[in-house]
């Protein structure tokens, strides 16, 4: 059997049970990471956070998003295996940057107890969720992620789980004290 072309190697993984393409591996890793982060959030973090005031809950759920500037690596040659499609790279990189900056403002405004804090959290959460949904809607760039593979398969699931929990907290009825 001749050695497969490099392009074929980049896009598939040979296993004794057949061939799994990059999209299948991505989907499996993404789904398992969402499940893992949801379990960690539900079992470890949320029982502790539920006893806190709403602003503290929102603050801690927003903290991971402060690091979304990491998504700028989608624009860095050499970090991704192949040049990513421009429509994806620009939207993902700058969308992450904007979401991260909004998350930073949300964290600061929550800690400082500014009157606009909840509105900033709403804005960050809507924009951040839309950014992730936009990035996840197209599987075309998956084989070209290279070293950046861990952003969408490990970090994005954490971000999606925390976005969900933030929305849940924002719409949750709070008992009157």
pLDDT at 14 over 70: no
What mean pLDDT value characterizes the chain? 90
> Would you say 167 and 89 are in contact if contact means Cβ atoms under 8 Å apart?
no
Task: Write out the DSSP string of 92-111.
Answer: HHHHHHHHHHHHHHHHHHHH
Model's pTM, two decimal places? Answer: 0.86
| Cα 134–Cα 30–Cα 56 angle in degrees, nearest 5 | 75
Print the domain residue range for 109. 6-171
> Would you say 106 and 58 are in contact if contact means Cβ atoms under 8 Å apart?
yes
d(CA 91, CA 118): 26
- Tell me if 177 is assigned to some domain: no
- Tell me if 1 is assigned to some domain: no
Cite the beta strand spans of the chain per DSSP E: 12-15, 18-21
- Tell me if 152 is assigned to some domain: yes
State pLDDT tens for residues 139-159. 899 999 999 999 999 999 999
State pLDDT tens for residues 90-123. 999 999 999 999 999 999 999 999 999 999 999 9
d(CA 37, CA 112): 28
CA contacts within 13 A on the Cβ side of 154? 7
Number of domains in the chain: 1
What pLDDT sits at residue 1? 40
- Tell me if 176 is assigned to some domain: no
């Amino acid at each position: 059997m001749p050695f497969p072309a490099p392009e074929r190697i980049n896009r598939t993984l040979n296993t004794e049970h057949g061939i799994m393409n990059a999209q299948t591996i991505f989907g499996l890793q993404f789904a398992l990471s969402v499940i893992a982060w949801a379990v960690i959030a539900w079992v470890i973090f949320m029982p502790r956070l539920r006893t806190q005031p709403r602003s503290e809950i929102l603050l801690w759920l927003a903290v991971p998003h402060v690091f979304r500037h990491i998504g700028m690596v989608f624009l860095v040659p050499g970090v991704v295996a192949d040049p990513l499609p421009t429509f994806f790279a620009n939207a993902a990189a700058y969308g992450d940057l904007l979401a991260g900056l909004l998350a930073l403002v949300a964290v600061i405004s929550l800690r400082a107890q500014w009157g606009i804090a909840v509105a900033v959290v709403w804005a960050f959460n809507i924009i951040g969720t839309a950014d992730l949904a936009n990035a996840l809607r197209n599987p075309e760039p998956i084989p070209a992620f290279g070293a950046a593979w861990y952003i969408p398969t490990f970090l994005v699931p954490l971000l999606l789980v925390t976005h969900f929990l933030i929305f849940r907290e924002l719409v949750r009825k709070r008992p009157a004290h």
